[in-house]
Structure 1
Amino acid sequence: MTLLQRCTLLWGSADLYDDDPHVRVVDNCVYLPYSHGNVWGLFSSDGKPVLEAIDFREGVHVPGDQRLPDEGRIDLAVTERSDTSYIYIGRINFHYGHFLVNTLPRFWNITKIKSPNTKILFHGPMSVEQIFSTPYVKTIFSMLGLRPEDFVKFAIPTKIKHVVVPKTSFEEQRAGFYTYKSLCSDIGRRILHNKDLSTRIDTLYYSKTRLKSAVGIIKNEAELEEYMREKGQ
């Protein structure tokens, strides 16, 4: 009986890049606070969305909880924030898979470009306290030397003098950068540094059989698990 079959279909594309993602510096931009299904995000001084700040899917689709202005610009009264520089890392998504696919890829160069006085600017419905109360998020951020006081978001439209926007290093259903692989490997090494591992683990298999719901599943995954147990894997 054949448990696995070769996949011959691909949703989107799977390009790999050796070079680093683009980093854009945006001056005098406008931050619109997160509002699910409405217009929110980072906009340049002419009112147009900062495209590097958007987590496109397949390179063209805007996230389902974000809408862009129809006229391509915004005209709002805003509060001025010119006292510091910011690094923008997009919406923090707390779904574990989307955290790895959409959120973490923007941190690929955070340890190189962040200074003690630089704040990390983000979007999302969660407070900073809620972010760091999520165990896996807290662990990953701590491995990057990040603390709650490093993060900030605004509740009202805000004009910001200087924002650094690292483009994502993993584009959903489109492309990945080797620098993201390096980031994840480095985080893994730091987590395991003080762990006493008596058994070498060469391969990990993440199963969805215990999930109550999932976007995609493997039809005979329970059978596959049993086969691996029988083989001592």
Structure 2
Amino acid sequence: MGSRARGGQAERRVGAPIRRGRVAPVTVAPVPPPPIAPPPPGRHMPPRTERDRMTTRLRRCRDWWGECALRDDLPVVREVADAVYLPHRFEGSWGVFGPDGRLGPDGVDGPSPDPAGLPAAPDGEYLYLGHLVPHYGHVIVDTLSRLWPLAGHDGPRPRLLIHTFDPLPAFGALDFLRAILGRLGLAPEDLVAFEEPVRIGRLIVPEPAFRAQVEAHAVFGTLCREIGAGFHDSAETDADARPLYLSKSRLATGIARIANEDDLVAELDRRGVEIAYPERLAFGEQVRLLSRRRLILGSTGSAFHTTIFAAPGRRVLGLNWMPAVNSNFALIDRLAGTTARYYHLDGTRYAPAEGFEFRWTIPDPRAVAAELVARAEAFDDLDARDGLARPRAGQGLRSYAGALRGRISRAAGRWRGA
């Protein structure tokens, strides 16, 4: 592999991704939408009424909160000899450091000890994953994005160096983390964190292949498809035409939730939509379920990120709490080959929520359910039908949405240990 000097450190390309460093984005051919399946035996689809017709209650989201750039090149990888690892401190610097200072975005700058005076970590190659938190969405966006050098790599596996506020054994209980690492020949037991400063003889520091709300490299999609391929069978792709709704109503903690989602779920269920609770399913079961369904409904959240592991070509109808959608969803949709349509609702109300940054209440959930089903039936025509239905955000909503976005950004910073 080639290398070049940069800032006193050696940069190199690690692993053997497809096409020796350039990965073509997935191209998904247009496929006719599946018909809405009839309800299961014993459940009757209510008669269509004027209320079932699409109205302007759901307004198409056409703006992104953040940037959305895709890149075909590989991120930079640094190989550092005698790097310094400083553990988390509530005051002072922490992170990994080379001769020229802190490596990567994680950590706090400050004076770094002379590596010659530090005890050495156990021998072996270490790959730095940054700050790790036990939250599915952040593992996908912030941690998995550092594992891209292992896409297509069949050599020895490194130890995974992290910073964390959580005890290492806690990560072994995370089904999704064990499943994802297992597909790469690793396990949560390969995670390493030190309680005292140490010298790392050989440290690999990859730049992330996914930068939240900024950009994503195509190799991140390649890595996720490689992981997901072990959990779904191409022969079962799109096998079930019944729409699937991913509910957050059983979640105990998170960023945001719909306060009256139970009412929405009840009406969707009555109309023949299957309801799933992702946190109750193993990671592999989620990937297989999404691969079998081409039409997936839900409110924006980490559960939608699982589409990047599923068979390409998913279709998503998402409810969003404000007119602008977090651009992470657009980045993942493009990498996954997903066709997604996101909607905001006029009359949405917001309030604090225990265990969440906030909750939002949707107006008339039964009517919203009817509109979602109608849009599912007319998925291919939504661009034309939604052409004039732009979100109407008054100054009060824009100001409040801005404040909530600030809370979400600060919460993300806390998750990342910033």
**Residue in structure 2 matched with residue 227 of structure 1 by the alignment:** 371
Per the alignment, residue 108 of structure 2 pairs with 67
Q: Distance in 1 between matches of 2:212 and 2:358?
A: 15
CA–CA distance in structure 1, aligned partners of residues 81 and 95 of structure 2: 15
Asked whether the 8 Å contact 2:141–2:211 carries over to 1, the reply is yes
Matches within 5 A, 1:102-113: 102-112=142-152
Following the alignment from structure 1 to structure 2, what is the Cα–Cα distance between the partners of residues 129 and 85?
22
CA-to-aligned-CA distance 1:11-51 (integer Å, 9 cap, x gap): 332111011111111111100113357521110035x111x
**Secondary structure at the counterpart of residue 296 of structure 2:** coil
Shift of 1:121: 1.2
- Out of 124, 133, 141, which is 1:84 matched to? 124
Are 1:183 and 2:223 matched, yes or no?
yes
Alignment of 1:211-226 (within 5 A): 214=356, 220=362, 222=365, 224-226=368-370
Q: In 1, are the aligned partners of 2:133 and 2:166 still within 8 Å (CA)?
A: no
Query: Deviations 1:75-118 (Å, cap 9, x if unpaired)?
Result: 36522236222111111122222222111111112255574463
Other-structure match for 1:204 = 296
Question: In the alignment, what sits opposite 2:29?
Answer: none
Task: Tell me whether 1:31 sits opposite 2:31 in the alignment.
Answer: no
CA distance in structure 2 between the partners assigned to 1:21 and 1:216 by the alignment: 35
Amino acid in the other structure paired with 1:29: A
Residue number among 201, 214, 232 corresponding to 1:174 in the alignment: 214
Task: Kindly name which structure, 1 or 2, has the bigger radius of gyration based on alpha carbons.
Answer: 2
TM-score (norm 1): 0.76
In 2: Cα distance, 1:195 partner to 1:212 partner? 43
Alpha-carbon distance between aligned partners in 1 of 2:183 and 2:174, rounded to the nearest angstrom: 14
Does 2:105 match 1:54?
yes
| SS of equivalent residue, structure 2 residue 229 | helix
**1:139 equivalent in structure 2:** 179
Q: How far apart, CA to CA, are the structure 2 residues paired with 1:117 and 1:18? A: 25
Q: Is the contact between residue 93 and residue 102 of structure 1 (CA under 8 Å) also seen in structure 2?
A: no
Q: Which runs of 5+ in 1 are unaligned?
A: 56-65
Shift of 1:156: 0.6
State the 1:195 CA deviation: 10
Of 129, 143, 164, which aligns to 2:169?
129
Work out which of the residue numbers 203, 209, 232 in structure 2 matches 1:192.
232
| Percent of residue pairs identical | 27
- From 191, 195, 199, the counterpart of 1:151: 191
2:94 aligns with 40
The alpha carbon displacement at 1:191 in A equals 1.6
Report the equivalent of 2:72: 18
- CA drift of 1:224 comes to 4.5
The answer as to whether partners of 2:151 and 2:226 remain within 8 angstroms in 1 is no
SS in 2 for 1:190: coil
Q: CA deviation at 1:174?
A: 0.9
Aligned equivalent of 2:62: 7
TM-score with structure 2 setting the length: 0.45
